[in-house]
Amino acid sequence: MMYIESVIKQFKYYKLLGEKTFEQLDDKQLFNVQPNVNSIPVIVKHLWGNMLSRWTNFFEEDGEKEWRKREEEFTATINNREELMEKWNAGWECLFLALNMVSNDNLDTIIYIRNQGHTVVEAVNRQLAHYSYHVGQIVYIGTLLKGEYWQSLSIPKGKSKEYNKQKFANAKSKKHFTDEYLGS
């Protein structure tokens, strides 16, 4: 499997984790905003702003666009699920469109983020870590809000032995870890 195919699967996996969290929360929980705490809508707004900035004209322009208003990303202005999902999907769409332009031939191309040069691989890895960090925050907030009613998005607590038994009952094979989650 080519590097970029693997990365795209990982980004899709993290997108799915966010969406599965949104699905478990009612609107009151989803829009639970606390002072001085990044709520789920604020994190989504930040991811959206970052994704549009980093991935628009990825090869031609610096990843920190002049039009980006990063500080405004941390104010709670998303008020409904529809707007939240519009921003969420717009950011991810921008990312996936840019990643579709990446190939083995341009992985070593230098792109810039705030005038700091990165190979495409370094830039992609930087953003994969950044987005997984924030999706982890979204999931964690979801677990706090749902408490005992949270439905695990990975191996449920107390089920590791059962999960491993099932996995080791299968023959060894080469596949991406996200295949079982993404249906690939």
The pLDDT score that the predictor gives to residue 106 is: 95
Distance, in Å, from the CA atom of 95 to the CA atom of 50, rounded to the nearest integer, reads 10
Let me know if residue 184 belongs to a domain: no
The pLDDT score that the predictor gives to residue 168 is: 87
The total number of structural domains in the chain stands at 1
Let me know if residue 152 belongs to a domain: yes
What are the structure tokens assigned to 108, written together?
């070593």
Q: Which residues pair with 112 in a beta bridge?
A: 117
Global pTM?
0.93
Let me know if residue 183 belongs to a domain: no
Q: What are phi and psi of 85, to 5 degrees?
A: -70, -35
Only one residue has tokens 């709670």, namely 76
Let me know if residue 69 belongs to a domain: yes
What are the structure tokens assigned to 26, written together?
């009612």
Let me know if residue 112 belongs to a domain: yes
Q: CATH number for the domain including 8?
A: 1.20.120.450
Let me know if residue 46 belongs to a domain: yes
The pLDDT score that the predictor gives to residue 1 is: 55
Let me know if residue 182 belongs to a domain: no
pLDDT string in tens for the chain (184-residue length): 589 999 999 999 999 999 999 999 999 999 987 778 899 999 999 999 999 999 999 999 999 999 999 999 999 999 999 999 999 999 999 999 999 999 999 999 999 999 999 999 999 999 999 999 999 999 999 999 999 999 999 988 888 999 888 888 888 888 788 877 787 6
Let me know if residue 105 belongs to a domain: yes
Q: Are 58 and 26 in contact (CB under 8 A)?
A: no
Three-state DSSP string of 8-53: HHHHHHHHHHHHHHHHHCCHHHHCCCCCCCCCHHHHHHHHHHHHHH
Q: Domain residues for 118?
A: 3-177
The pLDDT score that the predictor gives to residue 92 is: 98
